[in-house]
Amino acid sequence: MSADLTLPADLLNGRKVLVTGAARGLGFAFAEQIARAGARVVLADILAEQVQQSAAQLRELGLDVHAVTIDVRELQSVQAAVTAAVAWLGGLDGLVNNAAITNSGGKTTEELDIDTWDRVMEVNVRGCWLVTNACLPALRASQRAAIVNLASDTALWGAPKLLAYTASKGAVMAMTRTLATELGDDGITVNAIAPGLVAVEATEYVPEDRKQLYRQQRPLKRTQLPEDVCGAVIFALSDLSRFITGQTLPVNGGFVMP
C-alpha cells in the first residue's frame, strides 16, 4: 500500500528553501514535495554528482530547483554552499537539516568504536549546527523563516544497537529546543520531525526483525514511505505553523506516542 501525498500546490508559494542530504532518500522526497508546494529549492549533498542528477530530474518535472555540493562537517564547505544557495534563491525562508548518517547500526555500546561515534556526531549534530549558523543571516532577513531539523523516533524509544545514531538524534531534539528559544526574537521557528523506520536506501541494512517490530507494534501497520514524512515537513515550513516552535513531532504511525 502506498501513501499518496496531496497538498495545495501553493502552500509554500514563493518560499526559498535549502534541503541538506537531498541527493536521495528522504531528502530528495522533501525537496520534490517542497518544490511541488510552490517553493524554489536548493538541494545540497556531499554526493556531488548524484545531487546534480537529482536536481536535473526534478527540473525535468518543471520544478524550480538547483543543486550545490556540501560537506556539513566542514565549516568552509558549509559557508560556500550556503552562500551559493542563498545567491541562487535570492534569499532564504526555510532550512531543512536532513543530512545524516546511520553508521552505528548493529553494534552494542561495547562494540562501537570511537571513530564511528565521532563521525556520526560530526555529521548529524555538528553538521546541523554549522548549517543552521551559516543560514541565520539570510533567515533573519525573511519575514517567515522556519528551520526543520530531522530527528528520529529511535531517540524516543531507545533503539538498541544504534547508540551513536540514537544519541545524535537526541542531541538534535535538544538543539531544536535551544535554537527555538534563542531565535524566537528573530521570528524564526525551529521544530524537529522524528520519523520512524522509513523505506529508503539508507535503511536497507536494517534487519528484518526490526522492520517487523515497527510494523507489528504501531497502529498503522503498513510500511512507512517517504511521502508519509513530507507533509509534516511542509507544514513546519508553512504559515500554518507560525506559532509552533521548539517541538518534536513523531511521524511513525503511532509506534511512539509521547
The one-letter amino acid code at 171 reads A
Q: What is the CATH number of the domain that holds 127?
A: 3.40.50.720
pLDDT at position 4, please? 56
How many structural domains are present in the chain? Answer: 1
pLDDT at position 197, please? 84
Is 14 within 8 Å of 66 (Cβ atoms)?
A: no
72 within a domain of the structure (yes/no): yes
Computed on alpha carbons and rounded to an integer, the radius of gyration of the chain in Å comes to: 17
10 within a domain of the structure (yes/no): no
247 within a domain of the structure (yes/no): yes
pLDDT at position 1, please? 32
The rounded distance, in Å, linking the Cα atoms of 194 and 168 is: 12
pLDDT at position 6, please? 67
Is 100 within 8 Å of 73 (Cβ atoms)?
A: no
Walk across the sheet containing 65-69 and list its strands.
Answer: 65-69, 40-45, 16-20, 94-97, 146-150, 189-195, 248-251
The rounded distance, in Å, linking the Cα atoms of 202 and 229 is: 15
**For 135-147, what is the mean pLDDT?**
97
Summarised one tens digit per residue, pLDDT across range 5-57 is: 666 678 999 999 999 999 999 999 999 999 999 999 999 999 999 999 999 99
Per-residue buried b or exposed e for 113-122, using 16+ beta carbons within 10 Å of the residue's own CB: eeebbebbbb
pLDDT at position 5, please? 67
The rounded distance, in Å, linking the Cα atoms of 137 and 22 is: 22
11 within a domain of the structure (yes/no): no
59 within a domain of the structure (yes/no): yes
The C-alpha angle with vertex 184 and arms to 179 and 187, in degrees rounded to 5, equals 120
257 within a domain of the structure (yes/no): no
The one-letter amino acid code at 52 reads Q
Active-site entry in 28, 30, 165, 255: 165
Q: Which residues constitute the domain of residue 95? A: 16-251
Known active-site residue 205: no
75 within a domain of the structure (yes/no): yes
4 within a domain of the structure (yes/no): no
**With a threshold of 0.85, does the pTM exceed it?**
yes
